[in-house]
Amino acid sequence: MRFFRTLFDTFVQRQDQAHAHRWLWHGKRLLGLDGTELTLPPDKKLLTAYRPASNEHGSCKYPQALLVGMVGLWSGLCYSFVLVPQAQAEQWCACWLSRYLRCGDLLLGDRNFACYEIMARVVRRDADFLFRLPSNRFHRLARRPTNSGRCDEWLVDLVLPVALRKRCPHLPPVVTARVLQYQIPGYRVSWLITSLTDARTYSYDEVVGLYHHRWNQETMHREWKHTLQLSNLRSHSALGICKEVFVQLTLNNAIRAIQAEALPCDGRPLSLKFLDTKRVLFAAISTMALAPIQQLPAIYASLLRKIATLVIDVRPGRSYPRPNDGKPKNKGDGQFVQPARLPNPTGATPCHV
């Protein structure tokens, strides 16, 4: 296991040193944090290590795991991850992964991660955060205007709960954050919370537009589960499952590194087709294995030129809403969450001025 972990960490460090300067936002490394579920092979040992979810109909017969990764939203690299039973909360995984943050990083996440402890841990690492904010969280706190003078953004002071301060005395007792309110036509009002409190350096429109780059991690999860076959793990032991995940995510980083080498300095690997790149690389293995060593540089240069042409077609104006995005979600105990999409999209107007 030590070999697979060392291989993964060494590759990440080398690629980060070689290419990290190419994908910075205001001098900050743009990172995403999110989790995805994996269904594991049916085995009694795995059922013990990765207990499946249960509901009123009983528990699932297949063991299930939660994979939470910290990725580069413009580079496609997986910097670190944690594989835990599905019953483990994503918030706990985020606190554990916060140790890999560096000074100046900017961490993006959905509304699951907008809690006191995660934000305090990010600030303690001299990093910044940008999370989506639930509609019922932190809205009763005293508001202070920002230096932009806008009415749809304000500053709040998040005082950590007493129990959290006793459990983690090393965390800052107060976190100053900036809340932004915005609305996309056709959707309900949304809120963001960030530690980027200077509204002149980090403008309202720039921060709101930046948050939606977080969706890149969702597409990366699709590539992991289908192109790299993380949804079809074969090992029947907990240690073997971890080794398989390390191997596949190291392969993901290798493919993204080759894509970065094929693109110009201002290009992003996520703009290239991941599956087609994998097919081109695997098809070239036999050719490079049989070719004389003197011909390898020319073959590799030709391979990079071919990969650079595998650009994803961008279709402006297209949207792909989720099937049940317009229906209320039942949270149990008689509680329902209103859908994100408005019943009459044409009547929606942006709330910012």
pLDDT tens column, 201-246: 999 999 999 998 998 999 999 999 999 999 889 998 999 999 999 9
Q: For residues 116 and 113, give the distance between their C-alpha atoms in angstroms, rounded to a whole number.
A: 9
Q: How do strand 28-39 and strand 24-25 relate by DSSP bridges?
A: antiparallel
pLDDT tens column, 170-197: 999 999 999 999 998 878 889 999 999 9
The pLDDT assigned to 353 comes to 32
The pLDDT assigned to 303 comes to 94
pLDDT at 347 over 50: no
The pLDDT assigned to 176 comes to 95
- The residue ranking higher by pLDDT, 334 or 227, is 227
pLDDT band at 349 (very low <50, low <70, confident <90, very high): very low
pTM comes to 0.89
The pLDDT assigned to 351 comes to 42
The answer to whether the beta carbons of residues 178 and 196 sit under 8 Å apart is: yes
What residue ranges of the chain are covered by domains with CATH 3.90.350.10?
Answer: 2-242
The pLDDT assigned to 56 comes to 61
- The residue ranking higher by pLDDT, 133 or 266, is 133
pLDDT tens column, 63-102: 889 999 999 999 999 999 999 998 888 999 999 999 999 9
Buried b (16+ CB within 10 A) or exposed e, 289-325: eeeeeeeeeeeeeebeeebeebeeeeeeeeeeeeeee
160-169, 189-198, 264-273, range with the lowest pLDDT: 264-273
pLDDT band at 136 (very low <50, low <70, confident <90, very high): confident
* Mean pLDDT estimate for the chain: 88
Q: Where are the alpha helices (DSSP H) in the chain?
A: 2-19, 44-49, 90-97, 116-124, 162-167, 204-211, 215-222, 238-262, 274-290, 296-308
Q: Was domain 2-242 assigned CATH 3.90.350.10?
A: yes
The pLDDT assigned to 344 comes to 60
pLDDT band at 123 (very low <50, low <70, confident <90, very high): very high
Q: How do strand 144-145 and strand 58-59 relate by DSSP bridges?
A: unpaired
Burial degree of 151 (CB within 10 A; 0-12, 13-18, 19+): exposed
3-state SS, residue 88: coil
How many residues in the chain? 353
The pLDDT assigned to 348 comes to 44
